[in-house]
Amino acid sequence: MGFTDEVGIDLGTANVLVYIKGKGVVLNEPSVVAINRDTNDILEVGEEARQMLGRTPANIVAVRPLRDGVISDYDVTERMLKYFIRKSCGNSRFFKPRIMVCVPSGVTEVEKRAVREAAMAAGGKAVFLMEEPVAAAIGAGLDISKPDGVMVIDIGGGTTDVAVIALGGIVTSSSVKVAGDRFDESIIKYMRKEHKLYIGERTAEELKMNIGTAYPREEIVTQECRGRDLVTGLPKSVEITSKEMLEALDEPLQTICETAHSVLERTPPELAADICNRGIYVTGGGALLYGIDKRIEERTGIRVIIADDPKSCVAIGTGEALNSLEAIQNNQLNKKKPIL
């Protein structure tokens, strides 16, 4: 595989996507690592490790080194990044690409430094950070360089980022730690409470993807759900409807809608008028939840558009930003250059 010196990484809580200049998105794998507890060796990374979640023997643990959009285990994140960079770019000890990594809009300086240092330790020659809503807007095909306001809601695995963007920078934004993972937790909690059934993360995710809904469906769909009966302690199977999923997901969805509403409240009136005309764009894996556009539209009264290929928007935007890397290097704070 030929080497490239510019790589864009969407370092997500649920998935890591790698974009290579000239090739597009070349890798999309779950952010999961399987480790041997006895030797501290990494056994599997990505999809193979995800298959092990909740199914490992005592000496093996499958971990997710990112939580709520930030690094929770620095060492494992570094090793995971090194693996993904080598897998997508080629295995050379002398190869050091320039890396653009996306971070949620609300991260602290300490969290930014952790991401930068992990990417450098994983083999980066130079590391640049970019805020997720900006990358998502670029990846969705929106022109953010003009004075016209653009509103983006990026629903990822760990965080939901809501931002109004104009002239290439964020005007007003909010980031909440309510996204795909919280949807799964809400489903697990609902199953325990309503059906006295204990299910794992993977089962909850399957329910969310297959019959999860954010807005009442015209036709109710069902799925069989298997888990452990909390009363008898034995395996049990129940049939779950999309109506129940709507009830289970109501609380996190309410939080996302309220966050969007609060950002709109803080938006300057001229930009608010632009958003009314252009609509709100939704990106990230959460955009694939049935009826999420109708739910946000009902709360805000503004047309909502789901981006094409929402899961890849941030990675594509990161890659597109690599094309103007010189401008970003010279202008990291999005300040316009003086004309005099």
Are 260 and 293 contained in the same domain?
A: yes
Are 162 and 296 contained in the same domain?
A: yes
142, 168 Cβ separation under 8 angstroms: no
Residue 338 pLDDT exceeds 80: no
Spatial distance between the Cα atoms of 58 and 315, rounded to a whole number of angstroms: 36
On whether residue 236 sits in a domain, the answer given is yes
155, 163 Cβ separation under 8 angstroms: no
- Which amino acid makes up residue 87? K
Are 304 and 320 contained in the same domain?
A: no
Q: Of the residues 250, 282, 299, which one is the last residue of a structural domain?
A: 250
What is the Cβ-side half-sphere exposure of residue 189, based on CA atoms within 13 angstroms? 12
pLDDT for the residue 1: 41
Are 281 and 262 contained in the same domain?
A: yes
Closest CA to 184 of 72, 285, 277: 285
133, 150 Cβ separation under 8 angstroms: no
- Which amino acid makes up residue 8? G
Residue 340 pLDDT exceeds 60: no
Are 106 and 19 contained in the same domain?
A: yes
On whether residue 339 sits in a domain, the answer given is no
Domain range for 202: 180-250
Percentage, residues of the chain above pLDDT 90: 67
On whether residue 335 sits in a domain, the answer given is no
Angle at 159 between CA 113 and CA 200, to 5 degrees: 115
Are 12 and 103 contained in the same domain?
A: yes
On whether residue 338 sits in a domain, the answer given is no
Spatial distance between the Cα atoms of 305 and 308, rounded to a whole number of angstroms: 9
Residue range 282-333, pLDDT digits in tens: 999 999 999 999 999 999 999 999 999 999 999 999 988 877 765 555 544 4
Residue range 71-129, pLDDT digits in tens: 899 999 999 998 998 888 776 666 688 889 998 887 889 989 999 999 998 888 889 99
Are 50 and 88 contained in the same domain?
A: yes
Are 167 and 298 contained in the same domain?
A: yes
Residue range 122-149, pLDDT digits in tens: 888 889 999 999 999 999 999 888 899 9
Q: Of the residues 234, 250, 266, which one is the last residue of a structural domain?
A: 250
Here the CATH number for the domain that contains residue 158 is: 3.30.420.40
Are 28 and 130 contained in the same domain?
A: yes
Residue 3 pLDDT exceeds 90: no
Q: pLDDT-based confidence at 334, cuts 50/70/90?
A: very low
Spatial distance between the Cα atoms of 177 and 186, rounded to a whole number of angstroms: 13
Are 147 and 225 contained in the same domain?
A: no
On whether residue 1 sits in a domain, the answer given is no
pLDDT for the residue 323: 74
Are 75 and 16 contained in the same domain?
A: yes
pLDDT for the residue 105: 83
On whether residue 190 sits in a domain, the answer given is yes
Tokens linked to 213: 């809904």
On whether residue 337 sits in a domain, the answer given is no
Here the CATH number for the domain that contains residue 227 is: 3.90.640.10
pLDDT for the residue 68: 82
316, 25 Cβ separation under 8 angstroms: yes
165, 275 Cβ separation under 8 angstroms: no
Sequence-separated (6 or more) residues with CB below 8 Å from residue 185: 204
Are 204 and 169 contained in the same domain?
A: no
Per the prediction, the chain carries an average pLDDT of: 89
Q: What is the CA radius of gyration of the chain?
A: 21
Spatial distance between the Cα atoms of 236 and 20, rounded to a whole number of angstroms: 46
The total number of structural domains in the chain stands at: 3
On whether residue 128 sits in a domain, the answer given is yes
